[in-house]
């Protein structure tokens, strides 16, 4: 019998119950899900309207059917970008942690089919508070979801160092998803914000993890880059040559970039491989 399962590490969820909770707590968010037919609903998020939000995005029964139809055994769930809340006041973000509730509920309903990422919205502070306790917890490696930039700060910002240190210590599976992508003002046409903006911001995140020295300081850190790693797999030569000839790239990274670029891809693939093996 084949012992390998197909695991999708990049799947979002937002239930109508969570949308109502968010809108009640923060009316300005104006988040609502309105079913259209059996296959789609309209998702309202502030001034943005998604007219084709799939039913499986909020209905677990339909999601399980979709998984069967596409031969996916397990999904690792994460909250939708509409509920990241980085633009909201910190107290509100903490009180609404929040979108993780449907992930827990969904996991309990079908624990063999679903696992979840926890969203690290206040990553540094939470990591510092929980490190001592987590060190003694006898639990499986944690899964955490962090964005490609936090309120415009790249992932090598010193304020995130506690997050990376704790993630390495716990052997956490760090899923990096794009948000508020670079160049958004030029990507409004042709759905380019998703088609180009998402892989672009993922690539910026990966480059900052390399040149900012994060991967060097935390050699056991495991990362998974959404959207196929962005353009990172194809820019290896440029990153490596850039380190060799530009002084700016050596500010925090004293060793050749080729090693760290390959380590990012290796740890990316290893983390995916871990999630694909049967427990």
CA 215 and chain centroid, separation? 17
Instruction: Please give the average pLDDT of every successive group of 10 residues along the chain, which has 279 residues.
Output: 72 84 77 89 84 88 89 85 70 52 52 61 47 41 79 93 91 89 94 94 94 91 89 87 88 75 58 43
According to the model, what pLDDT value does residue 203 have?
95
Number of H helices, E strands in the chain: 11, 12
Q: Which of 54, 41, 44, 51 is nearest to 23 (CA)?
A: 44
Q: Mapping DSSP to helix (H, G, I), strand (E, B) and coil, where does residue 87 land? A: coil
According to the model, what pLDDT value does residue 198 have?
95
Q: Which of 278, 144, 152 is nearest to 223 (CA)?
A: 144
pLDDT in tens, 115-150: 755 555 444 444 444 444 444 343 344 567 889 998
Distance of CA 66 to CAs 16, 37, 70, 72, Å? 19, 16, 6, 8
Q: Which helix (H) or strand (E) holds 54?
A: strand 48-54
> Using CA of residue 166, residue 172, residue 177, residue 183, what is the dihedral sign?
positive
* CA torsion angle 170 107 5 1 (round to 10): 110
Specify whether the CB–CB gap between 210 and 257 falls below 8 A.
Answer: yes
Copy the structure tokens of residue 16: 């109508």
CA distance 270 to 145: 17
Q: Which of 215, 221, 135, 226 is nearest to 178 (CA)?
A: 226
| pTM of this structure | 0.78
Domains of the chain, with CATH numbers? 1-116 (no CATH), 120-279 (3.20.20.140)
CA distance 60 to 197: 29
Specify whether the CB–CB gap between 156 and 212 falls below 8 A.
Answer: yes
pLDDT in tens, 181-200: 999 999 999 999 999 999 99
According to the model, what pLDDT value does residue 90 have?
59
According to the model, what pLDDT value does residue 189 have?
95
CA distance 35 to 42: 6
CA 133 and chain centroid, separation? 24
- Sheet containing 74-79, strands listed edge to edge, beginning at the edge strand earlier in sequence: 7-13, 74-79, 114-116
């Amino acid at each position: 019998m084949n012992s390998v399962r197909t695991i999708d590490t990049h799947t979002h969820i937002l239930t109508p119950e969570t949308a109502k909770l968010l809108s009640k707590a923060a009316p300005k968010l104006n988040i609502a899900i309105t079913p259209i037919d059996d296959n789609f609903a309209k998702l309202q998020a502030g001034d943005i309207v998604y007219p084709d939000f799939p039913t499986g995005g909020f209905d677990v029964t339909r999601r399980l059917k979709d998984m069967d139809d596409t031969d996916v055994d397990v999904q690792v769930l994460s909250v939708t970008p509409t509920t990241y809340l980085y633009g909201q006041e910190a107290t509100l973000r903490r009180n609404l942690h929040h979108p993780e509730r449907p992930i827990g509920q969904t996991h309990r309903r079908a624990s063999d089919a679903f696992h979840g990422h926890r969203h690290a919205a206040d990553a540094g502070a939470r990591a510092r508070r929980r490190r001592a306790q987590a060190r003694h917890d006898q639990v499986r490696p944690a899964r955490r979801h962090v964005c490609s930039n936090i309120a415009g700060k790249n992932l090598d910002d010193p304020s995130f160092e506690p997050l990376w240190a704790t993630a390495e210590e716990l052997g956490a599976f760090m899923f990096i998803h794009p948000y508020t992508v670079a160049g958004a003002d030029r990507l409004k046409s042709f759905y380019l914000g998703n088609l180009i903006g998402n892989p672009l911001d993922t690539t910026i995140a990966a480059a900052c993890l390399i040149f900012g020295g994060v991967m060097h300081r935390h050699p056991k850190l495991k990362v998974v880059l959404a959207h196929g790693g962005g353009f990172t797999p194809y820019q290896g030569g440029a990153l490596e040559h850039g380190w060799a000839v530009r002084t700016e790239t050596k500010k925090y990274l004293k060793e050749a970039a080729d090693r760290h670029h390959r380590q990012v891809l290796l740890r990316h693939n290893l983390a995916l491989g871990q999630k694909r093996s049967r427990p």
